[in-house]
Amino acid sequence: LIKSSYIDYFTDIPDINGNITSYIAYTCTYEEIDSNKCNDKCEVGITEYPCQCSYDSECLSNKCYKNHCVYNDDESPIVHCCDVYSDKWFLGKSSYMYCGKPPENPCEKGSECSSKHCSNKRCDSVQDDGPSDSDGIQTAIEGLIICSVIFTIIIIL
């Protein structure tokens, strides 16, 4: 059940002629639908819109089940890409693009998710490892410490 404001409930995709088709991006699992945990209306700002489907073609996942769009990893998976950050010692953080399942999709392991994080069997919406405002200063201080140690060793020798 997508609850994150990071996700749009609907998406518009143009065809080759520029005609726009709207799809329902709001997606639930079969279990959520069967236990009535999937919303019938999607809130966009202060306005509520129906987010129920009648046909597979209305869903970005291309699968409509009991008037709700469901995950369809086998036939039509939705792919999401995002920046993944990693620490490089004394060089600060670096990033690379990684593609996988979108936020809130069911997962078994982090490598399935675009954020590379899977918790509670759901892909996390964002990666918390991104750079902070102080990263540049931290990298400069680490570099200064290394230079100081090298300079001290040279003077002692």
Side-chain-facing half-sphere of 59: CA atoms under 13 Å: 24
Residue 126: count other Cβ atoms within 10 Å of its Cβ: 14
Q: In the prediction, which pLDDT does 104 show?
A: 83
- Report pLDDT for 62: 92
Residue 80: how many CA atoms within 13 Å on its side-chain side?
25
| Helix, strand, or coil (residue 17) | coil
Locate 86 and state its tokens: 């990693």
Please state, in angstroms and rounded to a whole number, the distance separating the CA atoms of residues 17 and 30.
35
Interatomic CA distance for residues 31 and 65, integer angstroms:
11
- Taking only the tens of pLDDT, the chain with its 157 residues reads 344 445 678 888 888 888 999 899 888 889 999 999 888 888 777 888 888 999 999 999 999 999 999 988 777 777 888 888 777 665 666 778 888 888 888 899 999 998 888 999 988 876 666 555 555 566 667 777 877 888 788 888 7
pLDDT given at position 131: 58
Strands 64-65 and 68-69: antiparallel
- Which residue type sits at 79? V
Query: Is 135 exposed, middle or buried, given 0-12, 13-18 or 19+ CB atoms closer than 10 A?
Result: middle
pTM value is 0.62
